[in-house]
A and B are shown apart, each in its own frame.
Chain A
Amino acid sequence: MTDQKPVTIVMIEDDDGHARLIEKNIRRAGVCNAIRHFSSGTAAVDHLFAPGDPDERPVLVLLDLNLPDMSGTEILARLKADQRLKRAPVVVLTTTDDQREIQRCYDLGCNVYITKPVSYESFAQAIRQLGLFLSVMQIPEAP
């Protein structure tokens, strides 16, 4: 990632505890990219779709599906329909392992779907793997 503009991780997660745990484990995995946390769908959408993002950095979206103000799949659909953002990787992180929901997310263009296991070991493991994944992932720049 060094020869590219550093990727900003946009985390959309209404549960602050989850957000903290995710951040901790991402950091533990050695990922030091900037993480912007939005605890509501509205705030995240406002930021992502604001005209002329001042950062002009490529983004990676960590998306929780169960948001109080809008559904995560709606945000996912909007991201994938947007010319500027459609190539941004989206990692769906949610509590359910419902196959139909997983399928729906992949259909909408989600890149990775991670279930948040209750078992913390598994959870930490998953996030660390995500960090690993992030570190090797080529994130295209916004056009």
Chain B
Amino acid sequence: MQRRDPDMSPSSADRSSLHRALDTMPQMVWSTRPDGFHDYYNQRWYDFTGVPEGSTDGAGWNDIFHPHDQADAWRKWRHALATGDLYEIEYRLRRHDGVYRWVLGRALPIRDAQGVIERWYGTCTDIDDLKTVERRLNRSEERFGSLVAATDAVVWSAAADGGFDRPQPRWMAFTGQDEHAAAGWGWLAAIHPEDRSTTAQDWSRALVSRALYQTSHRLRRHDGVYRAMLVRATPLVGADGSVEEWVGIHTDVTDLKEAENALRRLNETLEVKVGQRTAELVRARKVLEVTNQGLETAVRARTADLQTANEELKRFAYIIGHDLRAPLVNIMGFTSELEAGRDALSGFYEAAIATVPALTSPEIDRLFKEDFDEAIGFIRSSTEKMDRLINAILTLSRAERRMVTPEAIDMQAFLSTLRGSFGPSLAAVDGAVEIDPDLPEVVSDRLALEQIFSNLTENAIKYRAENRPVRIRIGGRLSDERAVFTVADNGRGIDPKDFERVFELFRRAGVQDRPGEGIGLAHVRALARKVGGRVTLASTLGEGTVFTLDLPRRISQTFQASE
């Protein structure tokens, strides 16, 4: 490019060669007269802007900059011209395609030996790519900053040694520490005393390992309240591999922690409640168990008491049987001695009055002939009765004491034999015993059954109705695991009010016209009980009585052991 300089000076030739050289530069270069009149642009300028040569000479350059930058550029340019200072500006230059790109404009004056400005040389450097990166960076930083501001987070940076080496605005704002107090490891003073040691250890470890620092501690807020903080920091490593700085962030998790604690407390409360409830249930169950045990114990004790009482009763009956008999022996014995004495005296009396009749008197006579006999008779009959009663008690007591011996009994054969033994007594009253066929077999105590059926048969004969021949019918059937036998007679019957009474010892019912001590049915009931059975009766006065004997079909050794 050649341009004629209207004001050619001796240095014009030099300038021309300079301008040719400048044309080859990738940078836009321009030059002005001392008064600021642009009279040179290199080729790169025209390539970039696409403007016709010479169109930007003088002050025309200003028009192709972004309208927003034109005033600023003009002002700075005038200022530089006025002062001779460095001209420097970032502004947007319109490219040939109409796109404004950021360029850095710089210009310096060239002075002569006297210091007078000869010319200004300036450059425009395309910094648009740099600007874009910078803008993005700024935007990113802004975003980060607003993010940080939005989160209550305390962002800080620390030197490689872990100390604060520059002001930490967020830290200072949060903790209220001033720059001096927080400097170095001074920040540690804002950590809760109890957390300082672990924090220092964690931080030191992170500094050495250069790994992500992660901890939690309580940090004192400017108002003195400690807040729970989650802490994270990461090292920024330089090109040489050394840590340039640490960037860290404290996040306030107090509310989170409180919520967590509240939740935990709630859980604990729930657990405590569940625990309490469980404990209550366990306690209740224990009480129940104890009560049950108490009941069992009570039942056992009661059973033991009853057994003891029962044993005592048996012994009592046995002892009574023995000990009541002993005086009876004396009463009877000495009564006999008295009788013998009386007989001797009678003989003596007879002889005496035969010799001396005057010795007699009606009283003495009655004494020998009636009173002695009567007295001795009563003593005898009473003693005999007492002996029978005692024997009855003894019999019952022995029945109680006797061990049962289970054996299989064919009841059909058993009762036939029994009937045979009643042959004479039945014949005497024109009686008959009918035995039903197909009677069940039982496993029981033969002797007990013998006594039971004998007693019942005996009673049927004894308490017969006088106006009809005795008819006794014995039946039997199975009912589950029990064998139920009946002995029915056509006797005089028993009044319903006496149904229970007849089973009591020494008690009898109805007209007392038969000999007996009232032990038969008591014995029957005791024997039935002994073999695990029970005996009941149904009766209609004047028609007859049915005794029912309900027996276990089988009795076992176990059954005996429980007796």
Q: A: which residues have CB within 8 A of B?
A: 15, 17-18, 21, 24, 66, 94-96, 98, 116-121, 123-124
Contact = CB atoms under 8 A, between A and B. Distances in A.
B333 A17 contact: yes
B361 interface: no
B335 A120 contact: yes
Pick the most buried of A24, A94, A116: most chain B CB atoms within 10 A of its CB.
Answer: A116
Contact of B330 (A21, A119, A121, A124): A21
A96 B383 CA distance: 17
Contacts of B383: 118
B404 to A, nearest CB: 15
A118 B322 contact: no
A104 to B, nearest CB: 13
Contact of A118 (B329, B334, B394): B329
A13 B389 CA distance: 25
B322 A21 contact: no
A24 B384 CA distance: 22
B474 to A, nearest CB: 30
B329 A116 contact: yes
Nearest to A14: B326
B332 interface: yes
Contact of A120 (B318, B323, B326, B332): B332
B384 to A, nearest CB: 7
Nearest to A120: B336
B337 A24 contact: yes
A66 to B, nearest CB: 6
B325 interface: yes
A95 B333 CA distance: 13
Nearest to B386: A118
B157 to A, nearest CB: 111
A57 B332 CA distance: 34
A136 B387 CA distance: 33
Given A21-B333, A116-B329, A123-B333, 12 more contacts: A17-B329, A21-B329, A21-B334, A95-B325, A95-B329, A96-B325, A116-B326, A118-B328, A118-B387, A119-B384, A120-B335, A123-B329
A15 to B, nearest CB: 5
B398 interface: yes
B109 interface: no
Contacts of A119: 332, 384, 387
A85 B329 CA distance: 30
Contacts of B323: 66, 95
A103 to B, nearest CB: 13
Contacts of A18: 326, 329-330, 333
Interface string B303-322: 00000000000000010011
Interface string B152-170: 0000000000000000000
Nearest to A127: B333
A123 to B, nearest CB: 6
A58 B387 CA distance: 37
Nearest to B332: A120
A89 B454 CA distance: 41
A108 B335 CA distance: 35
B334 A123 contact: no
Given A66-B323, A95-B322, A96-B322, A17 B328 contact: no
A118 B337 contact: no
B336 A118 contact: no
A123 B337 CA distance: 12
A99 to B, nearest CB: 8
Contacts of B335: 120
Contacts of A118: 325, 328-329, 332, 383-384, 387
Nearest to B330: A17
Contacts of A17: 327, 329-330, 333-334
Interface in B349-384: 383-384
Contacts of B384: 118-119
